[in-house]
């Protein structure tokens, strides 16, 4: 089992002390504890990015075959009748700075609607509504273990640390079959965003970066063993995002979002540069008769770093990805298949650092909810990618990486 960290033991201990029959659930305060036991088979010529390599799998061949964890702890409950607090923490058991760390901590104001106009406000650290997959507690995908490359990246580098306001004209209460909503967010502490996609490119996994956690340096150099903190303010400039959501009878949900962290690429705080990162995302989820679900998403953007005469950055990276997911649920079973493509290309400054990635991935996933608490998941993943600066680590740029994970998940809500 290698290093089953103290955090996991602590999490498990907490889990078992919390273990009382579900019928005792009462009151509006919800505590959720979740723990995985994973059986992992990996087939890859590369070292995982979590060990400073340029492989795209979370677990490479050197990792344990059987893993305990991650453990997730989540609380959600009311502070007042219309303000709700939600806090989510993960223990990944992978030598992050803090054995257990927060991924989200948010206050949400939900006034009870008195007309079709529905106001929502969030304040804290949370995910902007980009993903059409990550709908579960702890921002986990309900369709597969690992979200798409797009939403893997959101989980790695994107967090709103700030506020968000959402206004929706909801049709259900007034007999209209569709809803239209608008959202705007303002945030800081997201200046290093862009460093992961520039250094490693896209990946497919379900590890979310913790708010106070550190990521290993992945700059393609053989001696990369440093680490850095992702959620920090460097340039003193706030970022924003603005988006629209349309829903028809909850059967077709479409979202667009424009995101701009308004970073100043010339700023440096002795540890990390501020990155200027912007993207547009488009997503649609369609629920078809027979419990079929189709999800398509596209995200494209750029990120820039370093001083330049025009202020746009001395190094600019373009990135884009899209995926198609088809899922079918039958009772307590769900099977999903996903295909995606992902790319990065250096648009300026390639002579200094030529980040260039091109790849695609297939994901086949099956989940079976045996009970409300016990769940079985199987996921097969194949990533076929070329990453130019793998040469810097003395390995071939092209690689096919495969993994199969069998997960027994215990999740209890009290």
Partner 1 sequence: MPHFIRFSGIATVALLAWSSGQAAALHALITDRDRAPMADTVLMLVPTDPSRDAAAAPQAAPQVMDQVKLQFNPQVMVIGKGGQVAFPNSDTVAHQVYSFSTPKRFSLGLYRGLPYAPVVFDQPGLVVLGCNIHDFMLGYVYVAESPYFGKSNERGEVHVADIPAGTYALKAWGPRFKEQEAQVLQQVTLRGDETLDVTLKLDRMLSPLRNPAAKPGKLRY
Q: Is the bond preceding 189 in cis, omega lying within 30 degrees of 0?
A: no
CA distance 259 to 37: 36
Residue from 182, 139, 183 nearest 164 by CA: 183
Interface with partner 1: number of residues (CB under 8 A): 52
Name which position in 15, 39, 87, 137 contacts partner 1 (CB under 8 A).
137
Name which position in 17, 174, 223, 394 contacts partner 1 (CB under 8 A).
174
Name which position in 134, 144, 146, 355 contacts partner 1 (CB under 8 A).
134
Name which position in 167, 170, 256, 337 contacts partner 1 (CB under 8 A).
170
Q: Does residue 175 touch partner 1 according to CB under 8 A?
A: yes
Interface of this chain with partner 1, residues 98 to 117, rule: CB under 8 A = 110, 112-115
CA distance 285 to 338: 13
Q: Does residue 19 touch partner 1 according to CB under 8 A?
A: no
User: Is the CA virtual torsion 182, 184, 190, 192 positive or negative?
Assistant: positive
CA distance 107 to 126: 9
Name which position in 21, 27, 222, 351 contacts partner 1 (CB under 8 A).
27
Q: Does residue 21 touch partner 1 according to CB under 8 A?
A: no
CA distance 200 to 308: 24
| CB of 26 or CB of 223, closer to partner 1 | 26
Tokens describing residue 75? 């609380």
Q: Does residue 270 touch partner 1 according to CB under 8 A?
A: no
Tell the smallest beta-carbon distance from residue 164 to partner 1 (Å): 13
Do the beta carbons of residue 16 and residue 24 sit within 8 Å?
no
Name which position in 227, 314, 382, 413 contacts partner 1 (CB under 8 A).
413
Q: Does residue 30 touch partner 1 according to CB under 8 A?
A: yes
| CB of 285 or CB of 315, closer to partner 1 | 285
Q: Which stretch binds partner 1 (CB under 8 A): 62-70, 128-136, 148-156, 221-229?
A: 128-136
Stretch 185-224: interaction string toward partner 1, x if CB under 8 A: ----------------------------------------
Q: Does residue 26 touch partner 1 according to CB under 8 A?
A: yes
Kindly report the length of the chain: 414
Do the beta carbons of residue 59 and residue 42 sit within 8 Å?
yes
DSSP 390: G
| CB of 6 or CB of 332, closer to partner 1 | 332
Tokens describing residue 108? 């949400």
Q: Does residue 25 touch partner 1 according to CB under 8 A?
A: yes
Interface of this chain with partner 1, residues 31 to 90, rule: CB under 8 A = 32, 76-78, 81-82, 84
Q: Does residue 378 touch partner 1 according to CB under 8 A?
A: no
Tokens describing residue 382? 């194949």
| CB of 175 or CB of 351, closer to partner 1 | 175
Residues 6+ apart with CB under 8 A from 140: 72, 134, 206
N-terminal to C-terminal alpha carbon distance within the chain: 29
Q: Does residue 328 touch partner 1 according to CB under 8 A?
A: no
For tokens 């460093």, name the residue. Answer: 195
Residue from 70, 71, 86, 74 nearest 31 by CA: 74
Instruction: Compute CA distances 147 → 140, 208, 362, whole Å.
Output: 8, 11, 11
Name which position in 293, 393, 403, 405 contacts partner 1 (CB under 8 A).
293
| CB of 26 or CB of 309, closer to partner 1 | 26
Do the beta carbons of residue 401 and residue 385 sit within 8 Å?
yes
Residues 6+ apart with CB under 8 A from 125: 102, 104, 105, 106, 159, 160, 161, 211, 231
Name which position in 63, 67, 122, 334 contacts partner 1 (CB under 8 A).
334
Q: Does residue 139 touch partner 1 according to CB under 8 A?
A: yes
Residues that bind partner 1 (CB under 8 A): 22, 25-30, 32, 76-78, 81-82, 84, 110, 112-115, 118, 129, 131, 134-137, 139, 142, 168, 170, 172-175, 177, 249-251, 287, 291, 293, 329, 331-334, 367, 369, 372, 411, 413-414
């Amino acid at each position: 089992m290698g290093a089953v960290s103290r955090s996991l033991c602590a999490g498990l201990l907490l889990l078992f002390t919390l273990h009382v029959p579900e019928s005792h659930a009462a009151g509006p305060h919800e505590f959720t504890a979740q723990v995985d036991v994973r059986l992992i088979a990996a087939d890859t010529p590369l070292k995982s990015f979590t060990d400073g390599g340029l492989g795209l799998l979370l677990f490479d061949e050197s990792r344990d075959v059987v893993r305990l964890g991650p453990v997730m702890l989540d609380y959600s409950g009311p502070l007042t009748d219309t303000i709700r607090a939600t806090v989510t923490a993960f223990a990944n058991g992978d030598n992050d700075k803090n054995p257990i760390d927060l991924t989200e901590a948010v206050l949400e104001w939900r006034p009870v609607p008195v007309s079709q106009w529905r106001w929502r406000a969030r304040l804290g650290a949370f995910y902007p509504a980009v993903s059409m997959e990550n709908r579960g507690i702890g921002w986990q995908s309900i369709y597969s273990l690992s979200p798409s490359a797009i939403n893997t990246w959101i989980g790695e580098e994107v967090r709103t640390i700030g506020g968000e306001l959402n206004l929706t004209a909801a049709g259900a209460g007034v007999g209209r079959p569709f809803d239209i909503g608008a959202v705007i967010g303002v945030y800081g502490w997201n200046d290093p965003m862009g460093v992961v996609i520039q250094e490693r490119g896209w990946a497919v996994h379900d590890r979310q970066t913790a708010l106070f956690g550190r990521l290993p340096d992945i700059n393609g150099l053989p001696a990369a063993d440093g680490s850095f903190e992702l959620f920090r303010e460097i340039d003193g400039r706030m970022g924003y995002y603005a988006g629209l959501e349309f829903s028809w009878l909850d059967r077709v949900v479409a979202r667009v979002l424009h995101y701009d962290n308004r970073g100043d690429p010339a700023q440096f705080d002795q540890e990390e540069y501020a990155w200027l990162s912007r993207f547009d995302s488009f997503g649609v989820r369609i629920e078809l008769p027979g419990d079929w679900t189709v999800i398509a998403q596209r995200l494209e953007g750029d990120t820039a770093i370093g001083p330049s005469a025009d202020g746009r950055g001395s190094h600019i990276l373009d990135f884009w990805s899209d995926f198609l997911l088809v899922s079918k649920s039958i009772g307590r079973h769900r099977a999903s298949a996903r295909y995606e493509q992902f790319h990065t290309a250096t648009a300026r400054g390639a002579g200094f650092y030529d980040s260039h990635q091109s790849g695609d991935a297939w994901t086949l996933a099956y989940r079976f909810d045996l009970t409300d608490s016990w769940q079985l998941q199987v996921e097969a993943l194949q990533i076929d990618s070329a990453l130019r600066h793998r040469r810097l680590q003395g390995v071939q740029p092209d690689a096919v990486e495969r993994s199969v994970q069998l997960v027994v998940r215990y999740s209890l809500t009290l």
